[in-house]
Every structure is written in C-alpha cells, then in structure tokens.
C-alpha cells in the first residue's frame, strides 16, 4: 500500500496529477479568453460605435475565404475592404484558433471602424471551420454564437440590429459518402429552422447568409446528372433546403434572377473555375416580409482569392421600429454586447470534409 502511494506521489510530482493537469488547462483557457476580451475591448474603447446604421441603404457581403491567414498576410482582405467598403462582411472557413488570433494581432489587419465578432472551433481541432463578422461603425445590440447543441465547430454567429437579425452560418457538408447526411438534415437543418423562426417571432425580419453547402436546383450546378448523389446535391439536402424556404424565407438571388446560371464555388483540384464548372452554394436568404427591401443580390465571380467567390446583398432599411431587446426576450445562448463575452474555439483542419 505504501509503495503504491509512494509511486503515485512520485508520478504526480513528476508529471502532475490528473486533477492538477485539468485545473491548469482550465486556468490557461480562462486566461486566454480574458486576454482576448481585453484585446477586442480595446478596439471598442478606441472607436465610438453607433447603435444603428444611419444610412437607409446598406450592403452586406459574405465570403468563404478557405483560411484567413493567407488572406491577411497577402493583403487580399485589406484590398477588398478598401475597394468595396462593406457595411457588414461575413466570413467563413476562417480556420484560425483563439491563440493565433492573439499571436497575429488580428486587429491590425482591419480598419478600426469595423466591430469584430469571431467564432472559432473548440479544441482540440485547430485550423478547421470558423466564422467571423465585421460591422462598419455599428455595435450589434446582441451577439449569439451557435445554437442548440451545435456549439463545437464555430459555424454560426447571430447578430441583432435595430431593424433585423443577421444569422451567418457555415453549414456542415454531408461529407464523402454522405457520412454526415443524417446529422446535416435531421439535426442541423431542423435546429437551424427553429432558430430562424424563433428570431422572427420576436418581431424582426431575419437575414440568413453564408456557405449553405447545397445547390438547391439543377440550375445551381454545372452537371446536375453527374452530381446527383454527391454531398451538396443529394435529394435529401435539396428537399431540406426547400423545407426551410417553405417556412417563410426567400432565396434572394433566385428571386431576383430566376433564370441566371451563376456559381459561387469551384473545386480547385481540377481547376474547374477556368471552365466555370461550379456550384451555387452561397446564399442570402431573407424573411418574406423583407424581400421588398432587397435591392440587389449579386454573385461576384470576378473576385478571386478562394475556391468560393463573394456574394453581396443591397438592402433598403425600413424606418426605425421598436427593438425587441429586453432581458425577457433573451435566448439562453445570447448575451448583450456590453458584456463583451467572446467565445473562441479551436479545431483541427480536415481538407476533405467541407466545401
């Protein structure tokens, strides 16, 4: 008995006990999150952000950039912001973890007038998935990251503004052999629909945008027959997307361009962009009540830099309406911006899982 105790004590003194190791990891995690809070809070203190957009017309952009580090170091994102000055920019597949955000001093790559919201994958998977949203000159009323049980891959950011909700998502791909099809359709899509409808019920229209990983109709893909059983064009995924739209939402590009054949994604493995053999899997979807406010919904296939091209939507805002922002209307996973709760996660990159 004494020998075991002595051996255990030796092991703990040499390597640390399991409890000590867990405690140390938790302490390090809290310390890292606190550093990130201070890091981004300094930007909030430097700039006086407004509570709402002062202009009537705003332009929202969305872009799967397939890794943000190369975009930043090569200056692609800086050039994009200077040329297009989006009011809101939503990014997908950022592939960056919270430690790297600090090490790179990520703030220096963006103009100070952009309010930053990041949602990274949780450990231990680094360099996988991830989303971010940048808002020019305006502080969202409320920020919510993820929804339901889908809180490990950093795939969703929900922002509340005075006149609408913005839900920015990087929807899971069903994977090779459709191995994640059941999760994608029966769990993610179902729970996302509930999330969108719950927001609508609070009294504001919803804008849902991002890489939705589905080509809805045959017009949205270059080879519908050859791709019929591939992830992103399976009958189940297309039907599931139809079901979401039937809940009172509109695909803005197809609504405004019913016959135009244009794509947002091209596989880099076969250089398919050169032959324009692509997929339209990036969308701006809005509540039906908002569709008359949509001026344009565009696909910018002339802009290079990723296997996806950016998309944009021009929106005319309605006159000011009452904000449904009281404590009794909060979601369990939401928090007021003033609390500056930043939920950063990490993940490991898997090249073959998502478009």
Identify the active-site residue in 165, 251, 265, 308: 308
Q: Is 64 annotated as a binding residue?
A: yes
350 pLDDT more than 90: no
Summarize the confidence of residues 32-45 as an average pLDDT: 56
170: annotated active-site residue: yes
pLDDT digits (tens, 9 = 90+) for 212-229: 999 999 999 999 999 998
Secondary structure letter of residue 172 according to DSSP: P
* Inter-residue contact 43 to 107 (CB < 8 Å): yes
Residues with Cβ within 8 Å of residue 42, at least 6 apart in sequence: 107
Annotated binding-site residue? 93: yes
CB 200 within 8 A of CB 164: no
Spell out the residues 6+ positions from residue 148 whose beta carbon is closer than 8 angstroms to its own.
191, 194, 195
**Residue positions counted in the chain:** 355
So what's the pLDDT on residue 189? Answer: 97
Band of residue 178 on the pLDDT scale cut at 50, 70, 90: very high
Outline where DSSP puts E strands in 171-261: 206-211, 249-251
pLDDT at residue 344 greater than cutoff 60: no
Q: How many helices (H) and strands (E) does the chain have?
A: 9, 13
Distance CA 355, CA 189 (A): 17
Helix (H, G, I), strand (E, B) or coil at 215: coil
Q: Catalytic one among 114, 115, 128, 170?
A: 170
In the predicted structure, residue 33 carries a pLDDT above the cut 70: no
In whole angstroms, how far apart are CA 20 and each of 17, 23, 124? 5, 5, 19
**Of 88, 81, 62, nearest in space to 160 by CA:** 88
Q: Indicate which residue of 211, 251, 282, 345 is catalytic.
A: 211
- Measured between alpha carbons, how far is 112 from 47 in angstroms, rounded to an integer? 7
| Of residues 137, 145, 143, 132, the one with CA closest to residue 51 | 137
**Banded pLDDT at 5 (limits 50, 70, 90):** very low
Cα torsion angle, 190, 232, 175, 63, sign = negative
| Residue 276 assigned to a binding site | no
Mean predicted confidence (pLDDT) in 52-74: 93
Helix, strand, coil content of the chain in percent (nearest 5): 35, 25, 45
Distance CA 76, CA 17 (A): 47
What residues does 297 pair with on adjacent strands?
A: 313
Higher pLDDT, 77 or 238: 238
The mean pLDDT value for 241-265 works out to 98
307 appears as a binding residue in the annotation: yes
Q: What is the pTM of this model?
A: 0.80
At residue 60 the predicted structure's pLDDT band, cuts being 50, 70 and 90, is very high
Q: How far apart are CA 174 and CA 355, in angstroms?
A: 10
Does residue 117 have a pLDDT over 80?
yes
Quick one: 349 exposed, middle or buried, by C-beta within 10 A (0-12, 13-18, 19+)? middle
CA distance 273 to 263: 10
Structural tokens at position 348: 């490991």
Q: Are 140 and 115 in contact (CB under 8 A)?
A: yes
């Amino acid at each position: 008995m004494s020998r075991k105790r002595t051996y255990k004590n030796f092991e703990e003194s040499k390597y640390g006990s399991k409890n000590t190791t867990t405690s140390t990891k938790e302490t390090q995690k809290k310390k890292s999150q606190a550093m990130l809070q201070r890091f981004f809070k300094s930007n909030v203190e430097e700039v006086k952000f407004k509570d709402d957009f002062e202009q009537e017309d705003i332009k929202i952009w969305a872009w799967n950039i397939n890794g943000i580090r190369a975009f930043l170091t090569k200056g692609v994102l800086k050039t994009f912001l200077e040329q297009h000055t989006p009011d809101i920019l939503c990014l997908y597949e950022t592939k960056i973890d919270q430690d790297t955000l600090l090490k790179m001093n990520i703030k220096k790559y963006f103009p100070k007038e952009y309010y930053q919201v990041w949602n990274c994958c949780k450990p231990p998977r680094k360099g996988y998935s991830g989303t971010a949203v940048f808002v020019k000159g305006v502080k969202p009323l409320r920020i919510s990251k993820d929804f339901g049980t889908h809180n490990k891959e950093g795939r969703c950011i929900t922002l509340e503004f005075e006149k609408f909700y913005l839900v920015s998502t990087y929807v899971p791909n069903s994977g090779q052999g459709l191995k994640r099809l059941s999760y994608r359709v029966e769990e993610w899509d179902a729970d996302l629909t509930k999330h969108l409808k719950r927001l609508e019920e609070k009294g504001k229209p919803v804008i849902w945008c991002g890489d939705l990983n589905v080509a809805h109709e045959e017009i949205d893909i270059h080879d519908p027959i050859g791709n019929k059983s591939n992830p992103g064009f399976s009958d189940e995924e297309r039907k599931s997307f139809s079901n979401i739209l039937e809940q009172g939402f509109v695909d803005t590009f197809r609504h405004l361009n019913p016959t135009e054949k244009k794509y947002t994604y091209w596989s880099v493995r076969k250089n398919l962009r050169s032959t324009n053999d692509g997929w339209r899997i990036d969308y701006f979807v809005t509540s039906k009540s908002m569709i008359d406010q949509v001026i344009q919904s565009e696909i910018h296939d002339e802009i290079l830099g990723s296997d996806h091209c950016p998309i944009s939507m021009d929106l005319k805002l309605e006159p000011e309406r009452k904000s449904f922002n009281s404590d009794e209307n909060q979601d369990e996973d939401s928090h007021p911006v003033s609390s500056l709760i930043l939920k950063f996660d990490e993940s490991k990159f898997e090249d073959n899982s998502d478009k």
